[in-house]
Amino acid sequence: MRRNPLLWFPQFGRIAAMIQGEEWLIEGFGCRAASLRDMNLMQALCERVIKELALSVVGEPQWRQFPGPGGVTGLYLLSESHLTCHSWPEHGTIAFNLFTCKDRERWDWEQALAAALSAEHVSVRRVRRGIRFAAEGNGSAPAEVAFQDGDSGSPPSVDRIIAGPHSSPEQRSART
């Protein structure tokens, strides 16, 4: 029997199953302008992320160097999803977006951007995509979740999620 990990949201008093992946939104501020214009440095930084997180590149990365004092934009298509990089030397900022279909270890963006770009501040946000609450209160069809007991105080696992009124006859009979 396949079990999906659960996420506990104490502020909502709900448990949800993670279905689709996670997205990391990274912003660096106070970076050296010259570094943000250096396409080779940006490529090396992205290649380091890919290597250290064991990501798989599909095809050739796409890069664009903007003219004059402009920055660079890079895109890596990954078998797990994508990694993008955008820099604004005129503002001393850089942004990365990493979307993966599986949980990954948190990468040390703060240390890497401070070392490579002299970033003074780094913001790292993680957004879990495709979360479906076990009991939805927004007017959409409620979901019913069968739980397996967790061990050592950990949250339980989801055995199955059965949709509400839009479920199939087989799913509705399985609930009773």
What digits encode the pLDDT tens for the residues 109-133? Answer: 999 999 999 999 999 998 877 766 5
Weakest-pLDDT range from 77-86, 157-166, 167-176: 157-166
Residue 54 pLDDT > 90: yes
Please tell me which residue in 46, 85, 86, 87 is annotated as part of the active site: 86
CATH of domain 21-130: 3.60.90.10
Q: Is the sign of the CA dihedral 83, 48, 30, 73 positive or negative? A: negative
81 catalytically annotated: yes
With beta carbons less than 8 A apart as the criterion, state whether 149 and 157 touch.
no
**Active-site pick, 31, 35, 46, 81:** 81
Half-sphere exposure (Cβ direction) of 121: Cα atoms closer than 13 Å? 5
Distance CA 166, CA 122 (A): 44
Instruction: Say whether 166 is catalytic.
Output: no
* pLDDT score, position 163: 36
Dump the DSSP string for the chain: ---B-EEEETTTTEEEEEEEEEEEEEEEES--HHHHH-HHHHHHHHHHHHHHTT--B-S--EEEEPSTT--EEEEEEBSSEEEEEEEETTTTEEEEEEEESS--PPP-HHHHHHHHH--SEEEEEEEEEEEEESS--SSSPPEEEEEE--STTPPPEEEEEEESTTS-HHHHHHH-
pLDDT in tens, 133-171: 555 444 343 343 333 333 333 333 333 333 333 334 444
Q: Catalytic: which of 82, 101, 118, 167? A: 101
Per-residue tokens: 155: 């949250």
Q: What is the mean pLDDT of the chain?
A: 76
Domain boundaries, the chain: 21-130, 135-175
d(CA 27, CA 46): 14
Active site residue 86: yes
For the entire predicted model, the pTM comes to: 0.66
